[in-house]
Each structure stands twice: as C-alpha cells, then as structure tokens.
Amino acid sequence: MPHLFFDQNEKELFKPEDVKPLLAEPEKHWVEKYSAYETACSWFDAQGLPKSIQSILQTDAILANARLKKAYFEKQTGLEDSKKHPSQTDVLAVIELSSGLGIIGIEGKVREPFGKIISEWNDYSPGKLRRLAGLIDHLGLKRSLSIGSLRYQLFHRTVATLLEAERGKITEAAMIVQSFSPEHVGFEDFQNFASALGIPVAAPGKLSDPMVIRNVRLRLGWTVNTLRSC
C-alpha cells in the first residue's frame, strides 16, 4: 500500500504526533479537543479520507468515489502578493478521480473562529492592502462588495486551495471545513463567506455546486465530525 501522509517537503508522516512539529506554535496548538489535534487524529485513524470527507464528496457527481493519493499536513502555500506569510492549510489532499486528479483544502475547526473579521484585520498598511486586493481579485469578487464582516482566514484558505489546483494544472477542487463542533460553531460565518462568493452552502454534509474561478471548478463544504482522542 502506498504511503499517504506527508509534510510539505515530502517527508513521510507515520502518526498524528508527527504533525505537531509542523504547527506554527506546537505547544499552544497541539491540544486535545482542539482543531489541529483532532483533525490529524481523524486522518491517521482513517488511514485515508475520513468518513465525513468521503460522505461529502459523494454529494458531487465528479468527486464521488474519490481515492486519496496524498495528504500534506500544514501545507504552506505562498500567496501571489508576497513570498512572506504563506497560507498554512491543515490538510491539503490530492485525490484521484475517474477524470484525473482533484485538490481538497481542509480547514479543521472545533470551536475556534476563522480568524479576525476583515475590518479588524485590515490596518490599511501597504502589505495588508496588497494582500487583500490580491485575495479579492483571485476570488473574482467585486471591489464594491462589503466584506468587512467576513472572516479573513476563509479568504486566504480558499485562495490557497485554488492556487494549489492551478499550480498542479488541476481543474477540480473543494475547500472543506472539517468541523468537530456539534453546535456548528462558525457555520454562519462560513455561509456568509460562501454567499459573498456566489456559492451558497445550504447545509452541513453537502458540497455546494461548483463555481469556475480562474479555470478551477471550486466547491465549498462543511462536514460534522465526532471528537476523538488519539
């Protein structure tokens, strides 16, 4: 059986604890019942696509019956505005489809928010204005759209998924929130972001219809998972 789990440098990962050193702040973020810990446990426990991810992919005609080719934990993706401050995706998965390959960006959450809202994050410094303009342009959003109440993390995580697809010349992609919150904490923020993109997400467990962004067919989705300690 081929190995499935790697860091971004193609080093093989064998157990959830191998993910800990890859975190920005390992001692702070590697905590039971928090997102990094629970997300890693779920993938290593499944030794492939977790059941919730398999289930949501089945709701899309093209992504249904996908098989995991490789999963990269804490994958850093340089955004187009700068080589600094890359977006760090919890799990970046390459999947095999009947039509070729697909890309899935996974954002794990328990009860943590999706970072600051744009109006709080944006201090109007040149770097942040350049970063925000690049994210808006990449997503094809109208400059006149009011985005101040939307969560910044959802912008750069979605663009990172799109960039990984583009750079791999892959046309099928999804950005999926792997939630471990039975109360769906953060789902309203996720819906608001999806609506701004024109990709409404009706309910957890079902992928949105795809939207073509720069030649990539992007879906958004939210899965519900059970907390499980390693």
pLDDT per residue as tens digits for the range 196-209: 999 988 789 999 99
Q: Is residue 162 scored above 90 in pLDDT?
A: yes
In which residue are the tokens 């608001």 written? 192
pLDDT of residue 79: 87
Is 52 within 8 Å of 110 (Cβ atoms)? no
Grade residue 169 by pLDDT with cuts at 50, 70 and 90. very high
Closest CA to 96 of 106, 84, 88, 104: 104
Q: Span 174-178, mean pLDDT?
A: 98
Q: Would you state the pLDDT for residue 230?
A: 54
Question: How high is the pLDDT of residue 91?
Answer: 98
Question: What pairing do the DSSP bridges indicate for beta strands 5-6 and 67-77?
Answer: parallel
Query: Across the chain, what does the average pLDDT equal?
Result: 94
Distance CA 30, CA 73 (A): 13
Residue 106 near residue 92 (C-beta atoms within 8 A):
yes
Q: What percent of the chain has pLDDT over 90?
A: 88
223 falls in which pLDDT band (50, 70, 90)?
very high
For residues 32-48, average pLDDT? 95
- How far is 86 from 207, CA to CA, in rounded Å? 26
